[in-house]
Amino acid sequence: MHACLVLAWLGAVVAAAMAVTLGGEAPVWGTYRPQVYVGMRPRIPDAVLSGLAYFGTRSLADIQHLRHTTKDDHGVRYYRYTHHDGRTFGRQEIVDDFLNYHLEISFVLSGAHPDAQQAGSWAIRVRGTVLNDELPAKVSLIYYLGRESSNAHLAYELGKHGEPTVVGSHPALGAFRLRFGDDGTETHYAGLKIPEDRVWDVHDPLLETFTERANTFHQRGAQLGQLPPATLLQLNDVVEDQATLFALQRSFTGNFTLDIFLDGEPHGSHLDAEQLTVALAQRREAYEDEFRAKFPLRDYADDDVTIARELTAQIVGGIGYYAGSSLVDRRHVSDAGLVLHEPSKAQPTREPARELLTATPSRSFFPRGFYWDEGFHEAHIAVWDPALAIELFASWTRLIDDDGWVAREQILGSEARSRVPEEFQVQFPQFANPPALIMGLDAYLSELPQEDTVGGVGGQAPFVLQNSSHVNLATLYEPWRRHYEWFRRTQRGQIQQWDRTATSKREGYRWRGRSTTHVLTSGLDDYPRAATPHVGELHLDLHAWMGAFARAMHRFAQRLGLVDDAREYARHYQAIQANLYDLHWSEDEGMFCDASVDDDDESYFECHRGYVSLFPLLMELLDPDAPALGKTLEMMRDEQQLWSPHGLRSLSKQHPLYGTDEDYWRSAIWIPINYLALRALHRYAALDGPYQADAHALYTELRQNIVRTVLDEYKRTGYTWEQYDAATGAGRRNRPFAGWTSMVVLIMAEKYP
């Protein structure tokens, strides 16, 4: 057959096999284990999971650098997704200087039915290229499948050509088979008995397997130092009784390609190596075309556009599925005093198992769901794939309990808990977190055409999405109303007790769960507050968040046709806006401040120039002609206060606590706050008023500073970072931190939903 005809035929075959709807519910299988370098699992609890482990075989010492979780990064220059559509295709690069390899790891899903009743098949290609031909390059790869409960069945058997394979079944997945591509390389295998709730932790069991193998050789009189390391670092081709984890292994010298296939039902969706090559090329081209369409970045150089595409892939590729119990201290407490529960004295109980599909801040340091981070994540994801964003929002919504509370950190199951220090594992139902998650809904509604909605609730047709998602938004409204009321009830501050004059006696707020030096619940951790905690404190940032929350719920209710509820939220918003000045504006300081109570039981302003001072602007609670807006803009642009060449500092450079102690939120530049500032400036620059020109000028310069800081550091280090140094622009603390730092892509595209 002519070469062109062969390619056309292959393309048609692949297109049929890879038929997956890009809208609608996310596939059953996915890269839902962001905490490992490579891992596929279904969005089903107590099913199966899989992953890749690899290590060098140049010497026996190489096994001490086994790569599996993203914490095993000694000698890894960087790892990052360059493409990921969140559904059926992704490509990741790992540059491993220690092992002398550049790894390109791609995957595709095929045969997944749009209604998710058929799990489908998937394939992974690992291509290894030697970095330095003058240095040795030997590597071994192990791919495993583990069962999380007796609901799944796994076994080892020979394939049609006599090669080792793993076969399995699960009620929700059907039958499936794990196999390696046929490249003539010898495959070894093992079946290990690991507790089902620990099959995710393969590091120690693999090391024990290799140690036992070395001991066996030694007992037979072999001189271990004379044996090739690859011979010792090899699975033993034995399946233990009642094995729960099955692994296949191949070893390579020099450049290599390893194809890994999981063949599920229907069988017509299975791929071979040639079809996989075509599928990967097609998906990569389609992904790049779609990115350019959704993020038009015509004013940027090609390498900057490439970074933006990669950051979008990284926030999407960081989506994880978690299932299991969490630790919650639900003891009844009185809110009459300042301190509720001390985390160090927690008495937790194990909650019933829950499920969550969520984006994650950092694959290495924070591979779990964070409540206030997720709002920023979903704002970005909603521009890429609105249906996927609303599915994440719906998953979080299902966590809201009957009282309206949802834990600010979702640590579900033993794998998630393994990455959290013990002192932070317990959650408390009195503690909140900034309600930024509503940004996910706002961003989704901004992307949703009006014609995709019908009716409302209360006797009218339900609000549904046509041809874009299985989520019925009307079902999400009541949990969110309950959540909103929980905030208003549990985080309410004291106004009348301290003779404060305010338009509304109701609209004042205080974060619960603070200590002398930290207000972790605010998300701003060590940002300065009153030196002596007091029950009479009122926190400006929470007040502003509640204004934004009321406005978002108003929009939600309006979209559903809930007129009375919309009016109620409008009243709340107006009262919050009025009390903003009554309770938090200091005329003497010319800024918005926290409030507290002194030793004489007198209310006073607690003022610390920095991010907290900006929250009325960040949440867009200020009228365009308000003098307070002008004062806030002046503070932002002051180079001795918040302005730097790399973005807005978290605390004034003149503050006595600037850069001190932990220095987490006391100097550094944070992208999410700068994004909120740019979003607000962008809108104020479009509104008539005396500060319109100032807002426009600040927006233009700040946007350029933020974009260049993040992109330049990405080019220098290969990563995005949790925060950036205000003096140098260098990345600080955790990396990679795709999370909300990826919001720089929305800034580049001027997407401010």
Q: Are 517 and 664 in contact (CB under 8 A)?
A: no
Q: Are 271 and 17 in contact (CB under 8 A)?
A: yes
φ/ψ bin of 333: left (φ > 0), alpha (ψ from -120 to 50), beta (otherwise): beta
Task: Select from 74, 321, 366 the least CA-distant residue to 200.
Answer: 321
Q: Which secondary structure element, helix H or strand E, spans residue 574, and what is its range?
A: helix 563-584
Task: Select from 195, 239, 192 the least CA-distant residue to 53.
Answer: 192
- Write the DSSP symbol of residue 743: G
722 is annotated as an active-site residue: yes
- Write the DSSP symbol of residue 434: -
What's at 90, amino acid-wise? G
- Write the DSSP symbol of residue 344: G
Q: Is the dihedral of CA 554, 557, 563, 564 positive or negative?
A: negative
CB neighbours of residue 161 within 10 Å: 8
CA distance 291 to 705: 24
525 is annotated as an active-site residue: yes
Q: Are 392 and 374 in contact (CB under 8 A)?
A: yes
Which pair of tokens denotes residue 548? Answer: 């934004």
Annotated catalytic residue: which of 97, 197, 355, 525? 525
**Continuous H helices in 260-345:** 273-294, 302-317
- 339 Cβ contact partners less than 8 Å away, ≥ 6 residues apart: none
Which pair of tokens denotes residue 673? Answer: 């706050």
Q: Are 550 and 533 in contact (CB under 8 A)?
A: no
Q: Are 595 and 502 in contact (CB under 8 A)?
A: no
Q: Are 23 and 116 in contact (CB under 8 A)?
A: no
Residue 84 DSSP SS3: strand
Q: Are 147 and 199 in contact (CB under 8 A)?
A: yes
> Where does residue 661 rank: exposed (0-12), middle (13-18), buried (19+ CB within 10 A)?
exposed
First-to-last CA distance in the chain?
A: 52
Task: Select from 415, 420, 418 the least CA-distant residue to 146.
Answer: 415
Residue 312 DSSP SS3: helix
CA distance 53 to 31: 15
Which pair of tokens denotes residue 542? Answer: 């929470």
Tell me whether strands 426-427 and 327-328 are parallel, antiparallel or unpaired.
Answer: parallel
- 310 Cβ contact partners less than 8 Å away, ≥ 6 residues apart: 80, 81, 82, 83
Which pair of tokens denotes residue 174? Answer: 């059907």
- Write the DSSP symbol of residue 647: E
Residue 133 DSSP SS3: coil
CA distance 742 to 671: 8
- 108 Cβ contact partners less than 8 Å away, ≥ 6 residues apart: 18, 88, 89, 122, 123, 271, 276, 279, 280, 283
Active site residues: 525, 722
